[in-house]
Structure 1
Amino acid sequence: MNILEKIIARKQEEISESKKHRTISDLEKEPLFSRPTTSLAAALRSSTTPRIISEFKRKSPSKGVINGDVQPQIVTRDYVNAGAVGLSVLTDTDFFGGSFADFLAAREANPLIPMLRKDFIVDEYQLFEAKSIGADVILLIAANLTPSEIAHLSRRAHDLGLEVLLEVHNAEELAVSTGEHIDIVGVNNRNLKTFETSIETSIELSELIPDQFVKISESGLQDAETIVKLFQYGYKGFLIGETFMKTANPGAALAGLQQDLTQHSNLNPLVL
């Protein structure tokens, strides 16, 4: 059993337990459930420069604890002040050290910015959870869902007013997973089975993603040169977590990258 299979097996157990304690009706009564959502896809589509989706992540299966001494409300507010177009907050506890509490703290600190619930969505129940904590976007990972499951979950997400980020890792997943209820296609440069990263994955898939979808690149992104290169391949957004979170001040790390991107555009005016 690889790490992804272990995560999904544990996720199924978590969902079963959660359903015993809180019904969908309970989730619908949460104050944030009726909150109007903010479009991440629209913010990315209208941008003429590379935009960063900054992630709050305490740990990962491949790296262990990345940064255990940070507060989500502080880090995410710093991200927004540094120019993040959106926020991604992990809610998986066992493997990534996240929680609903982290998401809610970030949401309260940043009421207007689009926020992605970063988790392993395998059940419709989780969509209602996402809406109840104030998420704007949910993640569907093609590697652990069938095409029919993706179609069903994406449609139900849209019914709830949530945008859908579909994550793919190869051409095969892309070919069978996209549909009318997908808003953003994210290419994960990390192989979820080996956890190795390569931006060549984004380059190879760039021309295969239909223009109707906003394209973002995820994982293994650390420098302005790489981001600008992928922007030239049509990627509008760049989801970055570990690069920032491994520093003492993640918000300052984003600000530094933004400055590098600006300098790169000044030196290469035709690039952006």
Structure 2
Amino acid sequence: MKDILAEIVAHKQVEVAARKQVRSIAELEQAPAFKRTPLSLSSFLKDPAKTGIIAEFKRRSPSKGLINGNVTVQEVTTAYTRYGASGLSVLTDEKYFGGSADDLQQARSFNNIPILRKDFMIDEYQIIEAKAIGADVILLIAECLSAAEVARLAQFANNLGLEVLMEVHGESQLEKATQHVQMVGVNNRDLTTFKVNFNRSCELAPKIPADKCKVAESGISDPAAIATLKQAGFQGFLIGEHFMRQENPARAFEQFVADVKAAEKVS
């Protein structure tokens, strides 16, 4: 099967080079959001009063095509916040996921919880851009970055006050987690084939460095799975497609949270 991740990264290099010509770093640094103090997602994930869920706004994906084209950023993200999301994840990749910087800026204007810029980060310019549009956290995908690149980009992000979620797909990638990485996410979806293996999170959990906040990503659709993942040591749960593919993502999230709470009372 074609390596989708390699294709996306190659396109991202061209895209970022083009954006640098349109908007300078100096201009980004003048954006009002650049001056705000970012929120700490790792702290929100550890807050027992919240769900630990990082709820995602995603219109489409390379593997599924259009997921939901009928809902607005405002109605979905404000419901996520209202019903206890610990953070928001907003796709800003346009070509493959149908997202935009404007989606994140809208989410920021309506919500006061941490926001992850979900994109394929390969350049410091994107990190400056992330802060300028109101993000609090960036994603670094270990699969497409060398250890040196992760270290450089993570430190750069921290210097701007942003936290870093480093996403891994296998044990060998854990060694890329530096002191500037606050959270390690285990993606249950193989980014080259887009198939899901839910057991991956539980297998890798004990091997994630103890000082990192643990986040399980992708393939989580059963409220009972949250309890299992918590027992494995996870504090964060990145969920997007499950809510977004419902006709009413806001109501789906509300029901999911209610079911999680009910399952925890039983256990």
TM range (shorter): over 0.9
Contact 1:85-1:114 within 8 A present in 2 as well: yes
Report 1:87-102 matches (<5 A): 87-102=88-103
Letter in 2 for 1:251: A
Deviations 1:22-64 (A, max 9, x none): 1111100011100111001011124377521100000000000
Contact 1:31-1:132 within 8 A present in 2 as well: yes
- The answer for unaligned runs of 5 or more in structure 2 is none
Letter in 1 for 2:110: A
Q: CA RMSD in A?
A: 1.1
Report the 3-state secondary structure (helix = DSSP H, G, I; strand = E; otherwise coil) of the residue aligned with 2:104.
Answer: helix
Contact 1:116-1:136 within 8 A present in 2 as well: yes
In structure 2, the partner of 1:192 is 191
Matched, 1:10 2:11: yes
Deviations 1:161-186 (A, max 9, x none): 00000000000111x21110000000
Bigger shift: 38-47 or 179-188?
A: 38-47
Q: Structure 2 length normalisation: TM-score?
A: 0.98
Letter in 1 for 2:221: Q
Deviations 1:67-97 (A, max 9, x none): 0111101110011111111000000000000
In structure 1, the partner of 2:178 is 179
Quote how far apart the aligned CAs of 1:252 are: 1.0
In structure 2, the partner of 1:255 is 254
How many residue pairs get aligned? The number is: 266
Report the 3-state secondary structure (helix = DSSP H, G, I; strand = E; otherwise coil) of the residue aligned with 1:67.
Answer: coil
In structure 2, the partner of 1:76 is 77
In the TM superposition, structure 1's runs of 4+ consecutive aligned residues that sit over 4 Å from their partners are none
In structure 1, the partner of 2:136 is 136
In structure 2, the partner of 1:61 is 62
Contact 1:50-1:228 within 8 A present in 2 as well: no
Letter in 1 for 2:245: K
In structure 2, the partner of 1:86 is 87
Q: Structure 1 length normalisation: TM-score?
A: 0.96
Contact 2:56-2:239 within 8 A present in 1 as well: yes
- The answer for unaligned runs of 5 or more in structure 1 is none
Letter in 2 for 1:142: A
Contact 2:51-2:86 within 8 A present in 1 as well: no
How far apart are the structure 1 equivalents of 2:123 and 2:99?
Answer: 19
